[in-house]
Copies of this chain bind each other. A is one copy, B any other.
Amino acid sequence: MKIHEYQARELFSAAGLPVPDARVARTPAEARAIAAELDVPVVVKAQVLTGGRGKAGGVKLAADPDEAEAAAEKILGLDVRGYIVEKVIVAMASDIATEIYLGAIVDRQSRSVLLMASAEGGVEIEEIAKTNPAAIIRVAADPATGLASHQAREVGFKLGLDWPQVRQFDSIARKLVQTVVDLDASLAEINPLIITPDGELRAIDAKVNIDDSAVFRHPDLAELRNPEEETGPEREARENGISYVNLDGNIGCMVNGAGLAMSLLDVIQLNGGEPANFLDVGGGANADQVRTAMEIILDDPAVELVLVNIFGGITRCDDVAKGVVAATQELSRTVPLVVRLVGTNEVEGLQILEEAGIAAHRDMVDAVRVAVAGVTA
């Protein structure tokens, strides 16, 4: 689960991280008022659930309330990687002597919370990873005991900080790792962590992603979920235990199993088609779930045809067939169906489809070719 910078800043503040004052504005007038109240040069920053807002013109310095209003005017409504800016924050601008990248992530390889730091702050970490991987300092923290002070100091000295700066860095790095642990975050990032000309460290940006599997035990974090993170169908799918990702094509896909669903998309592309979605209806799906999944797929007006690809293991083919038939009969919108159905109770399933006048394939690649021909015809 992704949250906005302003939400992450509040979590960071609560964790004792040095986050400068900032407030949210939804209109240029609000931005002006906040800048007037802060009465210092400010930064106006787009709040979007994606990176790259700087390059898209979503971050602007403003010396006075007039400039802040003008900046907000330009930023609100911007399209940043497909997200429309609806909110900005107006934050105290800081004098910057040095910019550091600092992030804590749950790391697959080391099975730990990994602290990553680089003296090349302000740039996205994947950029640094590409251009100068040696500039990234990594240290693995034991999530049970947190980052040790000596680990933080070592990173601080490697960043070239002096001792008063290392002491601040020690506290910040340990709190950032603890934030990951306490919030079940998969990532907590400060980019840039700046050093002012006076030698003070400040978190100028804030980013937190929460482990979706752990949201259930953080009711306060669950409330931070932003509607724009998901499309309507994505939300409906999540609430029904279905994995669904909306894509740009016209072939609706219903599959049991994430790996099989991914490879169906691959095979569609390989054959010149364009999938409209990723959908994993889950293991052991019953007729109701299949019907709901079909509803979600058909909610996308771009869908011209639905391709059902089921390999029955725990999932029973007859259950799937019943759901498919029910959906075709009950849903208002109908599109052509291509079905591939094999595995547990395959015979019974095929029988049900046949009775409803739906033909089925045994081979996945065959089914894909028919589907692609169906939409391009």
Partner-B contacts on A (CB < 8 A): 142, 144-145
Contact = CB atoms under 8 A, between A and B. Distances in A.
A184 to B, nearest CB: 15
Contacts of A145: 144
**Count of identical protomers in the assembly:** 2
A340 B281 CA distance: 86
A144 B144 CA distance: 5
A142 to B, nearest CB: 7
A142 B142 CA distance: 14
A113 to B, nearest CB: 13
A260 B283 CA distance: 71
Nearest to A145: B144
A142 B144 CA distance: 10
A145 B181 CA distance: 12
A144 B142 CA distance: 10
A217 to B, nearest CB: 14
Nearest to A146: B144
A298 B145 CA distance: 47
Contacts of A142: 144
A142 B145 CA distance: 11
A111 to B, nearest CB: 14
A231 B144 CA distance: 40
Which are the 3 A-B pairs with shortest beta-carbon distances? A144-B144, A144-B145, A142-B144
A178 to B, nearest CB: 13
A240 to B, nearest CB: 29
A129 to B, nearest CB: 31
A144 B145 CA distance: 6
Contacts of A144: 142, 144-145
A336 to B, nearest CB: 52
3 contacts: A142-B144, A144-B144, A144-B145
